[in-house]
């Protein structure tokens, strides 16, 4: 099974990279662009067939390492 972890900055935490991307999109003429937030996607191959066990394991990974919960939120998506 594969897990996809999406890590994004929490709402309210200034995201200078997202802001710069937003500005760049505006200057390219994409006038309809509102707020832009940058995050990262981490793909993990898991030797696990039980979905709930897999999800629990990945959540623990997020809490321990993959996200810094002081500034970041995460979402776990299981694929396959």
Binding mask 22-41 for another protein (x = CB under 8 A): -----x--------------
Contact with another protein (CB under 8 A) among 17, 30, 41, 53: 17
Q: Rounded to whole angstroms, what are the CA distances from 54 to 4, 58, 66, 76?
A: 11, 6, 15, 10
Query: Cβ closer to another protein: 24 or 56?
Result: 24
Stretch that binds another protein, among 28-36, 43-51, 52-60, 65-73 (CB under 8 A): 65-73
Instruction: Compute the half-sphere exposure of residue 41: CA atoms within 13 Å on the CB side of its CA.
Output: 6
Phi and psi angles of residue 18, each rounded to the nearest 5 degrees, phi first: -60, -40
């Amino acid at each position: 099974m594969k897990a996809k972890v999406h890590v994004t900055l929490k709402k309210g935490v200034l995201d200078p990279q997202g802001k710069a991307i937003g500005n760049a999109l505006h200057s390219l003429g994409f006038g309809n662009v509102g707020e832009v937030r940058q995050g990262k996607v981490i793909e993990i191959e898991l030797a696990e067939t039980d979905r709930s066990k897999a999800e629990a394991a990945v959540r623990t990974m997020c809490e321990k390492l993959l996200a810094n919960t002081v500034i970041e939120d995460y979402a776990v998506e299981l694929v396959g």
